[in-house]
Amino acid sequence: GQRLHLMQVDSVQRWMEDLKLMTECE
Amino acid sequence: RAAQGRAYGNLGNTHYLLGSFMEATAFHKERLAIAKEFGDKAAERRAYSNLGNAHIFLGRFDVAAEYYKKTLQLSRQLKDQAVEAQACYSLGNTYTLLQDYERAAEYHLRHLLIAQELADRVGEGRACWSLGNAYVSMGSPAQALTFAKKHLEISQEIGDRN
């Protein structure tokens, strides 16, 4: 279970890293 | 009033980049209200995306999902496929955070189809990676393997060693 959870977090974490700098500019 | 809307949006973005997500949310809500006042659908769509993103970092994944759905709806109205793909990807990730893997897979699949249509190999690779993970979580290793293979193939093609 733990391993699956870590795999899951991997792709989402990558997305969140990108998201941190993602703003829709005016 | 129109300039005020843009200023609110810029303030929202600045607070977001500073990591002040509550403040960012407050400004983006003001921006949203003015966009609605003017019937400015593109600005309204941007505000929904920004609000969705801020709620992810506030840990309010349920609220983020609702904003991303509004983004998705407007991107279709505005016929902006790139934004539509991005909204699907955001929704897939948000439902993963909510541990609703079936819904996550649904949105990642929608993202995959649009990425294919737009010949966006990077997007396609990300969608396959996410779909592999979603199917593992749903206890469907055979389907997960199909997407993992596709992810490998695309990563090799675009030279993404990571």
Q: Judge whether B65 and B39 are in contact, CB under 8 Å.
A: no
**In this complex, do B89 and A15 lie within 8 Å of one another by their Cβ atoms?**
yes
Determine the average pLDDT of the residues in B35-55: 98
Q: Choose from A2, A6, A11, A21 for mutation: most chain B CBs within 10 A.
A: A11
Closest approach of B50 to chain A, Cα-based (Å): 6
**pLDDT > 90: percent of chain B:** 99
* ipTM score: 0.91
**In this complex, do A23 and B13 lie within 8 Å of one another by their Cβ atoms?**
yes
Helices (H), A1-26: 2-19
Write down the pLDDT at residue A3. Answer: 53
What DSSP letter does each residue of B39-67 carry, written as one string?
A: T-HHHHHHHHHHHHHHHHHTT-HHHHHHH
Window 67-96 of B, Cβ < 8 Å to A: 89-90, 93, 96
Closest approach of B129 to chain A, Cα-based (Å): 7
On the question of pLDDT at B138 being above 90, the answer is yes
**pLDDT > 70: percent of chain B:** 100
Interatomic CA distance for residues B33 and B115, integer angstroms: 32
